[in-house]
């Protein structure tokens, strides 16, 4: 279990702070993650990698000369937000474009793609490579659906070496894609991992059993088996990978980089015992092992497990793999140390100090409404804080257990942003917009993006010029639903928050249309939302990381649906309190 932490919601931020403090020779803190603290060659391609925290050395440990130029670091097991990726890419850009590298997970694909589009709109050449090395996660004919695990290292290393050598963007992308095509990984797990503050692991494996093909967040593989000996495990891993030799190659006579990766709590000594047999099996198959790597390279907190990666080389790939590199967690050969980029360090401090959003003009009526917006967000924060452990527990049954922490980080950031906006005289729309950006940025993951969209859509509908009426709020909720379904592609029945949002939207619109006040209409819709959330227990997930665990989730409601129902009920309470206070004031007058 994860024993050393302060507040679970602050774990990722405090981890990054400590990492930068202890590795300033390589990295500097930038908005959204870290970037090299040393100077890079101007007019060369920059490689920016990233993903959720909790997998060290991935991703921050791979930033340095000869490796990545920056890493966008999301919340625990949650993708970084598009804003985080964009910010790190801007900080790392050397003038010849940015290549984004990440594991092939839905949230990462969505956020990195959004950042890529934004960078392109600004005239920055930006491309992406999603790593797909995990053979257990999809059949060969569906390789594009495979997960990225320890193969991240091979793809990132050769792409970074190509950029360092002066390759242009097209050539760098080609070499990254070739490395991805020639990388295969397969893993097993003996126990699950436990997030900071959680009482139980995300998943369990029966005593005396081993999960085969398990993903780094606990995603299922191809089944379970009894725990083998070290030699038997080596035979399983090598045997599986040799059934899928890359196109155009044959095992005998090929050169491969073998990577035996520890997932968190398997000791190095154990890995060496396993690798002893791996090396023998590779030699028996006629393969030549080049620069073997044995150790922790892509972890998952305290998960007990290991994976084997085979990186099938050609002459160019081997040259790039062996090129010098100097990063906190991966060093190769002799690197001529670059000077610290003091200008970038100073600029980062200045930008942090100067970060001050201009507040648009607003009417007195809208500023008064902004106070009510803050009260609603504060109520949302209180209900999330009260239920954070339960939300995490529900999410861990079929997902990766981070929903409670993600919601807590997001809503707290939203309240802080809204409070600052209200203090500076913002109207209701501007307050919601700033809260939306803060929620999305701080929470990361798909849920952070969805809640950011929801708040922004409501803000767009109510504006900064008048007291929001029930019709405008209902229209905002409808636009929020449309934006969320357009972004995430979920529909009713997929076991997501959409299963609550759509009935809530429809009930709110119907009640407002019948002439009810916003308070009464919202209360009626909140009751519908609660019922809808409970009914998600009867659904099988068809979207996101919960989809592969479909049968395990039956009988348990969706965590995103539950949190949405809790929040809309909490917001109704603030409406009711405000209405009661207004009535009392009127009577006293």
DSSP string, 56-115: TTTTGGGBSBTSBSEEEEEEETSPPPHHHHHHHHHHH--SS-EEEEEE--HHHHHHHHHH
- DSSP letter at 535 equals H
Give the Cα separation of 337 and 285 in Å (integer).
Answer: 40
- DSSP letter at 555 equals T
* Contact of 108 with 84, CB cutoff 8 Å: no
Q: Is 217 a catalytic residue?
A: yes
The β-bridge relationship of strands 293-295 and 255-262 is parallel
Structure tokens at 221: 């593989």
Tokens 């600029």 found at: 347
Give the Cα separation of 373 and 358 in Å (integer).
Answer: 19
Give the Cα separation of 75 and 9 in Å (integer).
Answer: 9
- In the chain, helix, strand, coil percent, each to 5? 55, 15, 30
Give the Cα separation of 482 and 454 in Å (integer).
Answer: 9
Length of the chain: 589
Give, for 34, the enclosing helix (H) or strand (E): strand 33-36
Give, for 309, the enclosing helix (H) or strand (E): strand 304-312
Give, in order, the Cα–Cα distances in Å from 161 to each of 372, 450, 552, 585: 53, 36, 43, 70
From its phi and psi, is residue 444 left (phi > 0), alpha (psi between -120 and 50) or beta? left
* Contact of 40 with 166, CB cutoff 8 Å: no
Cβ-in-10-Å burial (0-12, 13-18, 19+) of 566 comes to buried
Give the Cα separation of 241 and 136 in Å (integer).
Answer: 10
Give the Cα separation of 477 and 481 in Å (integer).
Answer: 6
Give the Cα separation of 95 and 105 in Å (integer).
Answer: 28
Instruction: Give 214's contacts (C-beta < 8 A, 6+ positions apart).
Output: 136, 187, 188, 189, 220, 221, 305
Please state the separation of Cα 8 from the chain's center in Å: 16
Give, for 191, the enclosing helix (H) or strand (E): strand 183-191
Nearest CA-CA partner of 88 in 73, 74, 70, 106 = 70
Catalytic residue among 55, 217, 549, 572: 217
Structure tokens at 348: 């980062």
Give the Cα separation of 368 and 466 in Å (integer).
Answer: 9
Q: Which residues are catalytic?
A: 217
């Amino acid at each position: 279990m994860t024993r050393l932490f302060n507040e679970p919601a602050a774990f990722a931020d405090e981890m990054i702070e400590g990492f930068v403090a202890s590795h300033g020779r390589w990295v500097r803190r930038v908005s959204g993650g870290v970037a090299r603290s040393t100077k890079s060659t101007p007019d060369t391609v920059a490689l920016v990698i990233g993903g959720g925290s909790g997998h060290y050395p991935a991703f921050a440990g791979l930033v340095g000369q000869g490796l990545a130029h920056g890493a966008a670091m999301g919340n625990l097991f949650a993708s970084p937000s598009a804003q985080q990726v964009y910010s790190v890419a801007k900080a790392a850009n050397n003038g010849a474009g940015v290549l984004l590298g990440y594991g092939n997970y839905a949230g990462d694909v969505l956020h990195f793609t959004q950042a890529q589009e934004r960078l392109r709109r600004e005239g920055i050449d930006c491309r992406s490579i999603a790593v797909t090395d995990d053979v257990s996660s999809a059949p060969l004919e569906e390789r594009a659906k495979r997960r990225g695990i320890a193969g991240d290292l091979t793809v990132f290393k050769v792409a970074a070496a190509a950029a360092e050598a002066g390759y242009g963007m097209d050539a760098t992308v080609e070499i990254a894609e070739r490395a991805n095509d020639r990388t295969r990984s397969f893993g097993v797990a003996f126990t699950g991992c436990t997030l900071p503050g959680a009482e139980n692991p995300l998943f369990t494996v029966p005593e005396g059993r081993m999960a085969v093909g398990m993903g780094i967040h606990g995603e299922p593989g191809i089944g379970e088996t009894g725990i083998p000996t070290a030699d038997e495990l080596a035979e399983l891993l090598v045997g599986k990978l040799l059934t899928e030799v890359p196109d155009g190659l044959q095992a005998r006579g090929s050169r491969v980089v073998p990577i035996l990766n520890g997932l968190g709590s398997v000791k190095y000594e154990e890995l060496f015992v396993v690798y002893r047999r791996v090396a023998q099996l590779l030699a028996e198959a006629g393969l030549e092992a080049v620069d073997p790597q044995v150790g922790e390279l892509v972890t998952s907190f305290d998960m007990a497990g290991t994976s084997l990666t085979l990186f099938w080389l050609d002459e160019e790939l081997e040259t790039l793999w062996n090129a010098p590199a100097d990063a906190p967690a991966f060093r190769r050969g002799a690197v001529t140390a670059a000077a610290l980029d003091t200008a970038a360090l100073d600029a980062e401090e200045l930008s942090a100090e100067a970060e001050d959003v201009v507040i648009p003009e607003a009417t007195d009526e809208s500023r008064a409404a902004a106070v009510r917006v803050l009260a609603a967000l504060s109520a949302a924060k209180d209900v999330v804080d009260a239920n954070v452990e339960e939300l995490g527990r529900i999410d861990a049954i079929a997902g990766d257990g981070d929903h409670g922490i993600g919601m807590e980080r997001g809503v707290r950031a939203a309240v802080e942003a809204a409070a600052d906006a209200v203090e500076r005289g913002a109207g209701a729309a501007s307050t919601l917009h700033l809260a939306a950006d803060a929620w999305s940025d701080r929470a990361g993951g798909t849920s952070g993006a969805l809640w950011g969209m929801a708040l922004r859509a409501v803000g767009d509908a109510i504006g900064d010029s008048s007291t929001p009426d029930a019709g405008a709020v209902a229209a905002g909720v409808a636009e929020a639903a449309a934006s969320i379904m357009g972004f995430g592609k979920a529909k009713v029945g997929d076991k997501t928050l959409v299963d609550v949002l759509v009935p809530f939207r429809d009930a709110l619109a119907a009640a407002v249309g019948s002439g009810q006040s916003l308070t009464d209409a919202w209360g009626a819709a909140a009751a519908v939302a609660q019922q809808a959330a409970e009914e998600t227990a009867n659904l099988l997930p068809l979207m996101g990381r919960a989809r592969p665990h479909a049968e395990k989730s039956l009988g348990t409601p969706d965590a995103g649906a539950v949190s949405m129902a809790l929040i809309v009920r909490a917001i109704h309470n603030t409406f009711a309190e405000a209405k009661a206070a207004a009535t009392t004031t009127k009577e006293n007058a």
